[in-house]
Amino acid sequence: MAAVGDLAVKFGGLIKKERVFDFKNGVFGAPTKRSEVCALNLRKLRAGGSRIGGAQAVMQVGVESDAGVSRDSKNLEGALGFDVVTEVELREKGFLGLRKTKLVCTIGPACCSLDDLEKLAMGGMNVARLNMCHNTREWHQDLVRKINKLNEEKGFCVSLMIDTEGSQIHVVDHGAPSTVKAEEGSVWFFTNEKFEGSRPFTIQANYEGFAEGIQVGDEIVFDGGMATFKVVEKVGNDLRCKCTDPGLLLPRAKLSFWRDGKLVEKNYQLPTLSPKDWSDIDFGISEGVDFIAMSFVNDADAVTHLKNYISTKSSKSIQVLAKIESLEALHKLHEIVAASDGIMIARGDLGVEIPLEQIPTVQEEITYVCRQLNKPVVVASQLLESMVEYPTPTRAEVADVSEAVRQYADALMLSGESAIGPFGQKALSVLRMTSSRMELWSREENRQDILFQHNLEPSLPDQIADQICNSAAAMANNLGIDAIFVYTRHGQMASVISRNRPNPPIFAFTNESSTRMALNLRWGVTPLVVDLSDDMEGNITRSVHLLKTNGLIKNGDTVLVVSDIIPTSTTQTVFQSIQVKTIA
Ligand SMILES: Nc1ncnc2c1ncn2[C@@H]1O[C@H](COP(=O)(O)OP(=O)(O)OP(=O)(O)O)[C@@H](O)[C@H]1O
Ligand SMILES: CC(=O)C(=O)O
Ligand SMILES: [K+]
Ligand SMILES: [Mg+2]
């Protein structure tokens, strides 16, 4: 509850129920109504098994009794596997109060102490992102060590992502340590040559071929519109340009070239992964990071190549996220999404290559394609940009965040807001508060879009698994279930349930740590590591018991349990089941 002196923010108007958010402590003032879940007597809903193409699908409804599990099974207590943040959130807000949208924070100098990282973790950071464009190998190594320490010693579950630098034409030197103003009509020299000391009106670009194919009359745009120059003369490999739209030139500003209102695509000459990127990738593999985000992906081959490389180098499964940040990537969106393990909509660089007014529709299109193909999608860049400087967001920023949540993006990302801004924790709490609000609204208004169900895989067993997950999500909504439990070794079942964006939270029990960390980016999924035995009934009974003894689930709660493979002692038949259990 917001104490006197705390900054309390209220959203009213359109929204029916008000909740007060305490920025300082990062908690909601009023818990989500548990009465949203109707009490159900599920005992009457008993249904038998039905045969589908050789595999057996069982649908059972029963009453879970605690009597069968002995309370002295101490070895299981530690195996609950909940992370500390979910546990607190669950105790405070109940099942429906758990946030669905995942949060990624870029780590930088403003938040790199163990203490800062712990505060971000406590504030709901699901994934820590290290941008390899900046800082040293030692700095990144230290960060990895700190995140691992927090996970191991403090019970957090924060996944690690590295983000490659990639190849892109940008400013190396513009003659000043920070921003330079370009006045209208001023003439500037663009070169790849390094220059010593101060040379006014000179810009050094990072790539020697930057002026290849560029003609007199073409335009150079800084950072997608910060300032614009017209090429007035070609001088060998260099360009003399006149400022036509005055503005600010930032260090490392991104350059794009335009002719007759169309982008002159130049990045095709640059490799998606440079030698430095390969070295950073080797670092990520050796540190056992969970995600590698690949900058400036231009086609599916680049993604497949990296995935193959990782599989030969790493025993651990590492997820490759393709960053969509070029026009070329948009042209090949489907194949890139299909080849990758997930997508980042890198709106920063995308806005350099496409007109800004197209970003919202492109974002909606990408999130839609990702959901169809069951790939997690991160919406990134400038979500709360003003908070790099100010302690509150603009209304427009909150609206932008809400829109990404309404589109059911899996995750939202902070960049400079957490990396260099003094209000990183506040920015994180704004993301948390805004997503929870929009999730509640979508649920209450029943705004869920009908998902056109692509079959994800052609084979029959996979289609059965898909259909089971789809049906489970529908059942969970229709029956007002409190929580969905899914037993999943590689995360596939959990991801397909998540793809349906059901109302109750999804607890994904897995025995693979890498599956757990990968599921951290999936909408609505709380991943837990447990010892999964072949006795699936035993697994289910044990996990319910563990939640109950820890006070996280109580009599009368209803849980929908989805399991994939239940080989029993007498038969090796593959069972796939949906069971509804009322805790008694
Ligand atoms: N590890 C770091 N060390 C120092 N500064 C950092 C670090 N990571 C990020 N920053 C700073 O935070 C800003 C925002 O970070 P972010 O990585 O999102 O931006 P970016 O460099 O523009 O992104 P990208 O290269 O992925 O397009 C950067 O411009 C940089 O100033
Ligand atoms: C995140 C990133 O790389 C971008 O927005 O360009
Ligand atoms: K990057
Ligand atoms: Mg980028």
Instruction: Classify 40 in phi/psi space as left (phi over 0), alpha (psi -120 to 50) or beta.
Output: beta
Q: Cβ < 6 Å from ligand 1: which residues?
A: 106, 108-109, 131, 133-135, 163, 348-349, 415-416, 419-420
Residue 581 CB partners (closer than 8 Å, separation 6+): 62, 63, 64, 540, 544, 558, 559, 560, 561
The reported pLDDT for the residue numbered 11 is 25
Query: How far is the centre of ligand 1, averaged over its atoms, from the C-alpha of 364 (Å)?
Result: 25
- Pocket perturbation via mutation, ligand 1, pick of 135, 321, 415, 417 by most ligand atoms within 8 A of CB: 415
Pick from 319, 297, 286: nearest CA to 140: 286
C-beta 223 within 6 A of ligand 2: no
Judge whether 295 and 165 are in contact, CB under 8 Å. Answer: yes
HSE at residue 193, side-chain half, CA atoms within 13 A, is 13
Which protein residue has the closest C-alpha to ligand 2 atom 2? Answer: 346
* pLDDT greater than 50 at residue 536: yes
Compute the distance from residue 325 Cα to the ligand 4 centre, in Å: 6
Atom of ligand 2 nearest to the CA of 323: 3
Give the H or E element holding residue 330: helix 327-331
* Over residues 382-401, mean pLDDT: 97
96 contacts: CB under 8 Å, gap ≥ 6: 32, 33, 34, 36, 37, 443, 482, 503, 504, 505
For the residues 325-343, what does the mean pLDDT come to? Answer: 96
Greater pLDDT, 477 or 7: 477
Q: Tell me what pLDDT residue 530 has.
A: 86
Count of residues for the chain? 584
Query: Is the beta carbon of 348 within 6 A of some atom in ligand 2?
Result: yes
Residue 362 banded pLDDT, cuts 50, 70, 90: very high
Q: Residue 95 and residue 557: Cα distance in Å, rounded? A: 10
The DSSP letter of residue 504 is S
| Dist CA 125 CA 161 (whole Å) | 12
By alpha-carbon position, which residue is closest to atom 29 of ligand 1? 416
Q: pLDDT category, 535, cuts 50, 70, 90?
A: confident
Report the nearest-CA residue for atom 17 of ligand 1.
Answer: 131
CA–CA distance, 566 with 126 (Å, rounded to integer): 31
Task: Summarize the confidence of residues 227-233 as an average pLDDT.
Answer: 96
Please give the average per-residue pLDDT across 240-251, as a whole number. Answer: 94
Please state the atom number of ligand 1 nearest to the C-alpha of residue 416.
14
**Among 245, 250, 321, which Cα is nearest to 290's?**
321
Q: What is the largest CA-CA distance in the chain?
A: 85
Tens-place pLDDT, residues 476-505: 999 999 999 999 888 999 999 999 999 999
How many A from CA of 550 to the centre of ligand 3? Answer: 42
Q: Each residue of 300-312: b (16+ CB within 10 Å) or e?
A: bebbbbbbebbee
Nearest CA, atom 14, ligand 1: 416
pTM value is 0.85
Q: Which residues pair with 182 in a beta bridge?
A: 247
Q: Which residues contact 271 (CB under 8 A, 6 or more apart)?
A: 167
Q: Which atom of ligand 1 is nearest to the CA of 413?
A: 18
Tell me the average pLDDT of the chain. 84
pLDDT at 53 over 60: no
State how far the Cα of 578 lies from the Cα of 57, in Å rounded to an integer: 8
Ligand 3 midpoint to CA 14 (Å) = 38
Residue 304 is predicted with a pLDDT of 98
Ligand 1, closest atom to CA 112? 1
**Best of 161, 252, 323, 324 for a ligand 2 pocket test (most atoms within 8 Å of beta carbon):** 323
Report the nearest atom of ligand 1 relative to the CA of 139: 1
Contacts 24+ apart (CB under 8 A), 279-282: 280/132, 280/162, 280/164, 280/165, 281/162, 281/164, 281/306, 281/309, 281/310, 282/313
pLDDT score of 286 more than 50: yes
Q: How far apart are CA 58 and CA 71, in angstroms?
A: 29
d(CA 198, CA 175): 5
**d(CA 289, ligand 2 centre) in Å:** 19
Mean pLDDT, residues 203-222? 92
147: helix, coil or strand?
helix
Q: Which two structure tokens, joined as six digits, stand for 268? A: 């095709």
Report long-range pairs for 564-568 (Cβ below 8 Å, ≥24 apart): 564/465, 564/487, 564/488, 564/489, 564/493, 565/536, 566/536, 566/537, 567/534, 568/535
Write down the ipTM of this complex.
Answer: 0.98
Q: Given this model, what pLDDT does residue 59 score?
A: 56
Instruction: Find the 122 Cα to ligand 1 centroid distance in Å.
Output: 23
d(CA 367, CA 360): 11
Q: Whole-angstrom Cα distance, residue 36 to residue 93? A: 12
Say what the pLDDT of residue 48 is.
33
pLDDT, tens digit, for every residue of 173-186?
888 878 899 999 99
Distance 417 CA to ligand 1 centre (A): 10
Alpha carbons 420 and 288: distance in angstroms, whole number: 26
Tokens of 472: 């489970």
Locate the ligand 2 atom nearest the alpha carbon of residue 347 and give its number: 5
For residue 20, is pLDDT > 60?
Answer: no
